[in-house]
Amino acid sequence: MVIRVQFHFVSVLLIYIFIGYVYSAGESNGKMIIPPPVKDLGKDYKLRIVYFVPSDKQIKRNYKEKTEVLMRVVADVYNRELKANGFDTEGLDFEFDDKGSPLVHLVKGKRKSIFYRGDPLDLDHLLNSQQQEIWEQTGFSRNRPTLVFSEAGPVAEARPMPQVYSGLACVSASALSDEVTSLSIVEHIGRLCQSANFTKKQSQVSQTTNGVIIHEIGHIFGMLHDTSDSRNIMMRGYDNLGKMFNSKYANQRPVRFSKAHARIASFSRFLSKSFDMSDDEPPNIKRFEIVSPVNEGDQTIKVSIEISDNSGLGSVVVMQRGGGQIDALTGDFEPKKAEKINRRFELKSPKNFVKGQPVILIMNCMDANGNLAQSVLRTNVNPKKNQSVE
Ligand SMILES: [Zn+2]
């Protein structure tokens, strides 16, 4: 009996290995790229993973294994994309249990899902109430930004807490369902690449779901939205995540972090190779001002900034928000660890400004030791002078 069971197990294993080799990556016939297993890197700054299950929801089978599969994809994308942008990193680190498997904290909510979600959906309440119970059960998360797979509601949202190298990124626990994520990494990559076993729709759901996780964690590392390239993960590039794992496309970086974002992530304590832990002083933003009025029809804004930092500045990015336009990265530069920046520079909006439009500019500035400062600037667009006679 025992022998037969073992034999069966071995044959199942062989079939899996065999399938792994003959899978073609979708209609293109490229080979699939299988991301390596995640391993404990022993860092002080790690991503914590929580599975949050309200009292009226079922715990999904194999949630630990599914999480590990998803995180192999996430870690591999961060690794490859940071390196492709020229930044050296050892990669993302996670908490591990004493058996050497990635740790997933199962947090059973005290209340039913409707309490957390609200009716109608109240996103702030959802995040706050979950965070409260997660902290009660896992401890406060200094140095541990938390990725939550939530059974409480369909959500994809991130709240960075850079002052304590932490934050909360929350995604729907549908990511852990059999319809979205496979138990084996080979089959999951097959899903992302739309191999013969999966329909286009199935593949799309899995690509988007796994991609959203990469995107939300990105916010924790100081990345903002970025419409400058449709391949950007901080845009909707993650919808094509499968191409990253298809050898035919992978070297063209079909899904990517822009250089500006890779740079800010590379200085975060989760991806930086060397930093001074004793420095917890964020950059001092002394000035972030618009130099001249923004007029209807303009596409650029001149700003003046003055920033200083005792350890040197690593990265500055500026995003534009609002006015009916989606968020967009409008400028960035590489301070090259300068201790002081005092200069003007030009931001380029993706669209021309329209009369009366509110303009909100958000600047994220990270020092060489992973401390983040943010400044927000608001202005309105003036009508063109020759039209203001009426
Ligand atoms: Zn986002």
For 92-115, how does the pLDDT look when each residue is reduced to its tens digit (9 = 90+)?
Answer: 999 999 998 999 999 999 999 999
Q: How far is the CA of 258 from the centre of ligand 1 (A)?
A: 14
CA distance 159 to 155: 12
CA distance 206 to 193: 10
Q: How far is the CA of 329 from the centre of ligand 1 (A)?
A: 12
Q: Which amino acid is at 350?
A: P
Taking residues 169-191, what's their average pLDDT?
A: 97
Residue 31 is classified by DSSP as P
pLDDT tens for residues 262-306?
Answer: 999 999 999 999 999 999 999 999 999 999 899 999 999 999 999
Residue 222 and residue 360 in one domain: no
For the chain, what is the mean pLDDT?
A: 89
pLDDT tens for residues 1-12?
Answer: 333 333 333 333
Taking residues 123-143, what's their average pLDDT?
A: 93
Q: How far is the CA of 21 from the centre of ligand 1 (A)?
A: 36
Using the predicted structure, report yes or no on whether residue 22 has a pLDDT greater than 80.
no
Q: Range with the lowest mean pLDDT among 19-23, 227-231, 331-335, 345-349?
A: 19-23
DSSP string computed for 283-342 = PEEEEEEESS--BTT--EEEEEEEEE-TT-EEEEEEEEEETTEEEEEEEEE--TT-SEEE
Q: How far is the CA of 225 from the centre of ligand 1 (A)?
A: 6
Q: What is the reported pLDDT for 56?
A: 98
Q: How far is the CA of 1 from the centre of ligand 1 (A)?
A: 53
28 — pLDDT class (breaks 50, 70, 90): low
Q: Do the domain assignments include residue 263?
A: yes
End-of-domain residue from the set 217, 240, 267: 267
Q: What is the reported pLDDT for 10?
A: 34
Q: Do the domain assignments include residue 104?
A: yes
pLDDT tens for residues 195-219?
Answer: 989 999 999 999 999 999 999 999 9
C-alpha angle with apex 242: 237 to 248, nearest 5 degrees? 105
Q: What is the reported pLDDT for 150?
A: 98
CA distance 278 to 293: 42
Q: How far is the CA of 237 from the centre of ligand 1 (A)?
A: 12
Residue 79 and residue 207 in one domain: yes
Residue 247 and residue 300 in one domain: no
CA distance 39 to 96: 8
pLDDT tens for residues 38-96?
Answer: 999 999 999 999 999 999 999 999 999 999 999 999 999 999 999 999 999 999 999 99
Residue 239 and residue 336 in one domain: no
Residue 93 and residue 197 in one domain: yes
Residue 123 and residue 54 in one domain: yes
Q: How far is the CA of 160 from the centre of ligand 1 (A)?
A: 11
Number of structural domains found in the chain: 2
25 — pLDDT class (breaks 50, 70, 90): low
Taking residues 310-339, what's their average pLDDT?
A: 86
- For the domain that residue 171 is a member of, what is the CATH number? 3.40.390
On whether the CB atoms of residues 327 and 225 are closer than 8 A, the answer is: yes
337 — pLDDT class (breaks 50, 70, 90): very high
- For the domain that residue 348 is a member of, what is the CATH number? 2.60.40.10
Q: Do the domain assignments include residue 390?
A: no
Q: Do the domain assignments include residue 120?
A: yes
Q: How far is the CA of 236 from the centre of ligand 1 (A)?
A: 9
Q: How far is the CA of 12 from the centre of ligand 1 (A)?
A: 40
pLDDT tens for residues 350-360?
Answer: 889 998 888 99
Using the predicted structure, report yes or no on whether residue 20 has a pLDDT greater than 80.
no
Q: What is the reported pLDDT for 3?
A: 33
Q: How far is the CA of 232 from the centre of ligand 1 (A)?
A: 11
Residue 351 and residue 238 in one domain: no
Domain containing residue 216:
25-267
Q: Do the domain assignments include residue 296?
A: yes
Taking residues 11-37, what's their average pLDDT?
A: 59
Q: What is the reported pLDDT for 2?
A: 33
307 — pLDDT class (breaks 50, 70, 90): very high
Q: What is the reported pLDDT for 384?
A: 83
Residue 263 and residue 300 in one domain: no
Q: Do the domain assignments include residue 12?
A: no
End-of-domain residue from the set 241, 267, 293: 267
Residue 162 and residue 298 in one domain: no
Q: How far is the CA of 344 from the centre of ligand 1 (A)?
A: 28
Taking residues 221-248, what's their average pLDDT?
A: 93
- With a CB cutoff of 8 Å and minimum separation 6, the contacts of 368 are 267, 275, 309, 311, 312, 313, 314, 337
Q: How far is the CA of 313 from the centre of ligand 1 (A)?
A: 24
CA distance 7 to 77: 36
Q: What is the reported pLDDT for 228?
A: 81
Residue 263 and residue 297 in one domain: no
Q: Do the domain assignments include residue 210?
A: yes
Burial class (CB in 10 A: 0-12, 13-18, 19+), 88: exposed
Q: How far is the CA of 148 from the centre of ligand 1 (A)?
A: 15
Residue 178 and residue 310 in one domain: no
Q: How far is the CA of 305 from the centre of ligand 1 (A)?
A: 25
Burial class (CB in 10 A: 0-12, 13-18, 19+), 99: exposed
Q: Do the domain assignments include residue 346?
A: yes
Q: How far is the CA of 256 from the centre of ligand 1 (A)?
A: 15
Q: How far is the CA of 14 from the centre of ligand 1 (A)?
A: 41
Residue 191 and residue 239 in one domain: yes
Q: How far is the CA of 218 from the centre of ligand 1 (A)?
A: 8
On whether the CB atoms of residues 346 and 377 are closer than 8 A, the answer is: no
